[in-house]
Structure 1
Amino acid sequence: MTGRHGISCSRSRAFPRPVRATVGRAVALLVGASLAVGCGVVPGVTGGDGDDGTITVMTWAPQDTDATNKPGMPALALAYARWINSRGGLNGRELRVLNCNERNDSVTAAKCAERAVDEGAVAVVGSYSQHADSFFPTLESAGIPYIGGYGLTAAEFTSPLSYPVNGGQPSLLAGLGRELADKCGPVSLVRPDSIAGDELAPVLNSGLSAGGHAEVRDVLAAEDATEYAAPSQRALEHASADPARPGCVVPALGDRTSTFMDSFRRRGEDSGVRTATVLGSVDQTVINASGGKSGPYEGAYITGWYPVASDKRWDGMKKVINTHAFGDNRIDPADAGVQTTWIACTVLRAAIESIGDGEVTARSVRRALDNGLSIDTGGLTPELSWDYSETFAAVGLPQLVNAEVTLQVVRGGRLVSARTGFVDVTKTLQRAELR
């Protein structure tokens, strides 16, 4: 592999030990099960990267599968391109967005990356995939930057061509554990019985132990379960073991979290046990569908990467959705994937605008991001800059530049801020690495 500023041709990497033993697979929380293949292009914007000056990028995410789906991410990217082009483009160049359905499938994820190369994409932006080993080798060989992935894989925090805008699942779980340490009695974690799920408990424990709390009860559940009666009973029994201090149950099941809550609410309604989870497993739509203020999420603590969806800092994104998404109901402004794509597009725009009249290529976009460009996201994140950091490199996360999370709580059926500002979980992640 070449250095940070060159093109890397190696396979994507897992976290080095000891990080791999604790944090590594936690970033693959929301694993897919679909074996379907197929990659398509949604022609939201015309043109191709080439002599006409059009700038081509790609976004991919699973859609129409039996596991986690994120159709709002590519839909938001298309709306963003329409907005940019209505304003004259980027430095006078039209922005073209390719959309690929990676179907939660490794073969299709690789085909999406190959399509990005074939179409001359200068970046992959705001995308969701757990199959880093399938798509990163192709992107690295072509030198195409991966901007604003969802934080699911180790390679998103180690590949020199990756530019993550959040701290991924590890930061959410570490932050949640830290918050629950002084708010809960016994804590139960309900997570997938999978390779990815195996490392969720150690990261959550890093936050709990920072607050002097005992470790979680690790409750395994089938990855493709259609009901969770047995896991919810085991979780509840542990969380309610101390009558003097009611505990908390943390479901970390991605799109299956709502299915779990249907089983859990029938058993834990009068137990005093509360729930807590991470954004991406629960959002305002899920809270509304489960009964709002009378539902099982009332009082639940939820960690997120960004401010709550009602925060005025999202007004710019909402305006673009209202005026350029044409009623596309795939786009939910409260969805963490949509929010991540908006920030990733903000990063792309800043990088291209910094190039000015120069040629926009994958190489020039990387160079702009690698040379200390500091990007203001309007307060949605800290300023983003991918300068080398000894702090994060020391814990095996050299591309991590944002280890801050927000704490939210469900009050009156609404997801609201539980604490002003962001919480930095850098030290908590360091403790996880050392365990």
Structure 2
Amino acid sequence: MSQDAPKRPVQLPLAAAATVAGTYLGAADYLGLPHPDLPAAIAVLIFGAAIIGAAFLLSWAAEAAQVDISAGLAIALLAIVAVLPEYAVDLVFTYQAGQVFAEQGHCVTGGGNPCSLALANMTGANRILVGFGWPLVVLVASVAAARARSDNPRPGRVEFKPAMSVELAYLGVATVYSLTLPLRSSLTLIDAVVFVAIFALYAWRLAQAPPDKPELIGVAEWVGGKPRKSRRGYVIGMFAVAGVIILACAEHFAESLVSTGEQLGVDKFLLVQWVAPLASESPELIVACLYAARLKASQSLATLLSSKVNQWTLLVGTIPIVFALSAGTFSGLPLDGHQRLELLLTAAQSLFAVSILLDHVLTGAAAGVLFGLFGIQFAASIVLSPEANRWVTIVLSGVYIVLALLRLTLRYRHTGRTFKDGIVTPFEKLGKV
């Protein structure tokens, strides 16, 4: 990073300009201000452009923040902001489910009832993140490395530093606990305490990491080269603005996609489980692709890994809290058989995902397996009958768990070292992210 900050790059105002229309339309709808009622297809383009602009702001802010805080903590902050739309969608369904419970004394399941949809978006988002997002990072990083004719990072694989053992270890802890959820009849406040505690410990652990001098270019270099007070103001402002844009646009983006699907006769549950999560996951997926395209594949994977930790701890833990507040009861969110299977499949995929990263590398082969298994469950949920899809879910869950146990057994030394490094080893011995 140069000592003299360069002139303001043109990318910053361009990214900001791309967000204006979508942000106004989204905010106007929430605030009751006058705004045009656009066709769904046009709305998708406008809100999508705003989310892309916000993703650029997030990536620049996270990079510039590494001047003052550790890369891991900066990426974790990025992940929290990027998954805000996921929180918004999930918690809306959860709140509605609580109201149904309060009115009827029980939680009606099936169809498009919010009690059934409360977990559909969350489980779908988690599986998209790992089954589609992680392989996407490997693909984009490989293409970028090939175009740059770079030997580092090597095409076909994404390597990460030992400091990312923190994300992996806490994801592993949350995953082991989540494997008990399919055995329950409800998601309770006790589960909330456990998941929120895991996230709090994860955040505290990241906060202990020392900052390290980053290699910045473009907008991030311009922001990072400013005096400390001004730099921190820009970073906080960019995070905040990106968060507002995402909150204003993401739900409308998802609704536009879902509306288009409903017009085509697609089942609402499938839309909530796949289309809406893909829309709400778009900020972090775009940020990850931006990192990968700039040959920062390790940070790219770190972004999605941190998002996974966030969603599989804090988001899951928040759901029973919102349900209890909405329903006016300490009873947990009821889980029917279908929801328990969805939780089983998501937890099993998460366990396999942890196991394949024990060597601190995501290979092209492992990414292919992740994508292939995800593709099977995605196709089965669309083309098969509910009963047939149920059996596919059970079989795939078993496949994930068996593959994970094989990996964990064969790499048992890596398993112990990863959890030790992630939870207790001083960062000075781990190196930078």
Q: TM-score, normalised by structure 1?
A: 0.27
Q: Which has the higher contact order (CA 8 A, sep 6+)?
A: 2
Q: TM-score, normalised by structure 2?
A: 0.27
- Structure number with the higher helix fraction is 2
